[in-house]
Structure 1
Amino acid sequence: MAELNIPHILVVDDDKRILELIKNYLNNNNFRVTIAENTEVAREKLENLEFDLLIVDIMMPGENGLEFTKSLKKTNLNNPIILLSALGTANDRINGLEIGADDYLPKPFEPKELLLRIKNLLTRNKTNKTKIKFVKFGPFKFNLKKEILIKENSRIILTPSESKILQILAKNNNEPIYREDLSKILKIPLSSRALDVQITRLRHKIEKNKKFPIYLQTVRGRGYVLKID
């Protein structure tokens, strides 16, 4: 199997022993593994590498695993996340799942159990990606992978920024995304009017009346939402 086709896992834990244990075990089971000793290093890895799944310890100094997971989900990260914790309380598990984690494993754990959970999540995530290829809103159909917008069999030309905005909003499944988060993803200064300009231009292409938008709506005090069918 080519290395690029091997699932790539990011493991975030301040315990070097745990990092090496997980890395060696997963390497031996045909996974690529990148490790990070804190969330700052993990963010650098996420900016430069592609991952299929994240394993994140909750109890870390500085930004903990729950805070890290919550911030990642706000940026529309779709990768499955497994949380690890030595506490193992019901509240930890519930809190983790509420903020968007996909699974939870208390320490100590059997490596084989972690492996099975990883395989189950990757299979489920692959199935979801296969099913969701495009979204519809009104007369429009947007291909999420190719970032192509079609209206009644005619392609609507979008700029790269417009395509990215539409993709982010479409993947958020009728849920608003904060202006701050959208600006951060697009690397647009929040203090500037650049994001508002991009939104206005996109509305020109998909709305009959940009002053009273039907699809790309403003949510007061939060940001924007795309109303998909």
Structure 2
Amino acid sequence: MAHSVLVVDDDPTVSDVVRRYLERDGCRVRLAFDGHDALAAVAEEVPDLVVLDLMMPGVSGLDVCRQLRRDLPDLPVVMLTALGEEADRVAGLEVGADDYVTKPFSPRELVLRIRSVLRRTAPATPAAPAVLTDGDLTADTGRRVARLSGRPLTLTVREFDLLAFLLKNPARAWSRAELLEQVWGWQFGDQSTVTVHVRRLREKIEADPAAPRRIVTAWGVGYRYEPAA
């Protein structure tokens, strides 16, 4: 079945280009031109993924993303941000965007990024699922559900992917570049993406995010997952 994608951008030209490329890739596309329309469209029919412009009049992309994260934490969001504005990219990641593409962008690159996110959210094959466990922390890769002390964790697509990767590969120091390639599938990109996701994940699984015991900083390298003793 074709994936459904909601494209939210106040520029009709950008929206039309993205729509045509996604439809050519086999997606079913709906358009919204502001934040109010976007939230109404999601309330009417939840898409498989949202492409969301950061800067829009009225309800901004950040506000829309915050609302989606509250109501639909598992819904993948790919943010469109202004070229060179690192603060905007970080802000989008902070509110829970799973990925971002900077403007002006290549429509082909956007389609590839969307494919990557959708592939990671697709149901796993019967042989693939595994429940990864570290003390009171578990991650079910088949159901894509993580729990801490039995309580379900609200994780975005990338946060779950990052947690599962670290649980599978504990006690080894990973650089940000390595995590970007292993978890995001990018061979190059903004490494602050990793920093933001690690910070968000620590806030959800660490007793004291300021003094993490699970995802620790490997100084001069990156991060390392320390399993419970």
TM range (shorter): 0.5 to 0.7
Cα distance in structure 1, aligned partners of 2:17 and 2:147: 45
Note closer, same or farther for the CA distance 1:172–1:14 as it changes in structure 2 (3 Å cut): same
Matched with 2:80 is: 84
Does structure 2 retain, via aligned residues, the 8 Å contact 1:76–1:171?
no
| Partners of 1:10 and 1:53 within 8 A in 2 | yes
1:120 partner letter: S
CA-based RMSD of the aligned residues comes to: 2.4
Aligned to 1:172, which of 154, 162, 180?
154
1:10–1:36 contact (8 Å) kept in structure 2: yes
- Matched-pair identity in %: 35
Per-residue CA distance 1:23-60 (angstroms, 9 max, x = gap)? 11111111100000111111111111131100000110
1:33 and 2:15 aligned = no
1:132 paired residue among 130, 133, 143: 143
Extract unaligned runs of 5+ from structure 2: 125-139, 156-229
Aligned residues of 2:5 and 2:27 also touching (Cα < 8 A): yes
* Pairing 1:103–2:86 present: no
Give the 3-state SS of the residue equivalent to 2:29 in structure 1. Answer: strand
Paired residue total: 140
Q: Which has the larger radius of gyration?
A: 1
| SS of residue paired to 1:172 | coil
2:200 aligned residue: none
Give the letter for the 2:91 counterpart. Answer: N
The answer as to whether partners of 1:8 and 1:33 remain within 8 angstroms in 2 is: yes
Q: Hey, what's the Cα distance between the residues in 2 that align with 1:39 and 1:61?
A: 8
What residue ranges of structure 1 are gaps of 5+ in the alignment?
A: 141-168, 174-229
Determine the C-alpha separation between the residues in 1 that align with 2:84 and 2:51. Answer: 15
TM-score for both structures, normalised by structure 2: 0.55
Q: Distance in 1 between matches of 2:148 and 2:24?
A: 46
How far residue 127 of structure 1 moved from its aligned partner, in angstroms, is 4.8
Secondary structure (helix, strand or coil) at the match of 2:122 reads helix
Q: Could you tell me which of 53, 68, 77 is aligned with 1:57? A: 53
CA distance in 2, matches of 1:84, 1:74: 20
Deviation at 1:131, TM superposition (A): 1.4
Amino acid at match of 2:142: K
Separation of aligned partners in 2, 1:116 and 1:73 = 23
Specify whether residues 7 and 21 from structure 1 end up closer, same or farther in structure 2 by C-alpha distance, changes over 3 A only: same
- Indicate conservation of the 8 Å contact 2:73/2:154, yes or no: no
